[in-house]
């Protein structure tokens, strides 16, 4: 807030408030740096991902529908996403049920590991 007020009160390039702007900017940067250190020490260090749960969340995410757009087209992909949300099913299940792709092709296209390599 101090930086904003000082910048507003200054006269373009003849800003007499530059010292207070820089002082508060550097103070804010230091505070943010200390906050990041505290966050890392108390929250990040020692975290171990639950790989099974992470994979489950990715596979059941509606976001993976985007990989189907080049294969089935935007409209069919959007309709599939809506059905998956409405029926509380995975995108994979809807794609196979609707006959958009066979089970093997759907499994291959919707594989999260393959999506990372594109």
- The pLDDT value recorded for residue 32 is 97
**Domain count for the chain:** 2
Q: Which of 44, 59, 77 is the last residue of a domain?
A: 44
Residues 29 and 64 in one domain: no
Q: What is the CATH number of the domain that holds 90?
A: 1.10.40.30
Residues 107 and 78 in one domain: yes
- For residue 96, how many other CB atoms are within 10 A of its CB? 17
- The pLDDT value recorded for residue 14 is 67
Q: What is the mean pLDDT of each run of 10 residues along the chain (118 residues)?
A: 81 74 93 97 92 89 91 92 92 92 90 78
47-71 burial code (b ≥16 CB/10 A, e <16): eeeeeeeeeeeeeeeeebbebbeee
- The pLDDT value recorded for residue 12 is 61
Tokens of 46: 């020692």
Angle (CA) 22-26-31 rounded to 5° is: 145
Rounding to the nearest 10 degrees, give the CA dihedral for residues 8, 13, 19, 21. Answer: 40
Residues 61 and 105 in one domain: yes
Residues 39 and 62 in one domain: no
Residues 37 and 75 in one domain: no
- The pLDDT value recorded for residue 95 is 92
- The pLDDT value recorded for residue 113 is 83
Residues 81 and 111 in one domain: yes
Rounding to the nearest 10 degrees, give the CA dihedral for residues 112, 114, 71, 52. Answer: -20
Residues 55 and 36 in one domain: no
* Owning domain of residue 20: 2-44
């Amino acid at each position: 807030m101090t930086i904003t007020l000082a910048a507003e009160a200054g006269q373009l390039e003849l800003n007499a408030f530059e010292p207070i702007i820089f002082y508060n900017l550097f103070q804010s940067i230091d505070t943010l740096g200390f906050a990041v250190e505290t966050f890392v020490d108390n929250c990040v260090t020692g975290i171990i991902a639950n790989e099974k749960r992470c994979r489950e969340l990715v596979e059941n995410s509606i976001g993976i529908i985007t990989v189907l757009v080049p294969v089935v087209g935007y409209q069919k992909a959007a309709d599939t996403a809506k059905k998956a949300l409405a029926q509380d099913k995975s995108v994979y299940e809807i794609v196979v049920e609707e006959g958009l792709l066979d089970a093997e092709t759907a499994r291959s296209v919707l594989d999260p590991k393959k999506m990372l390599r594109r």
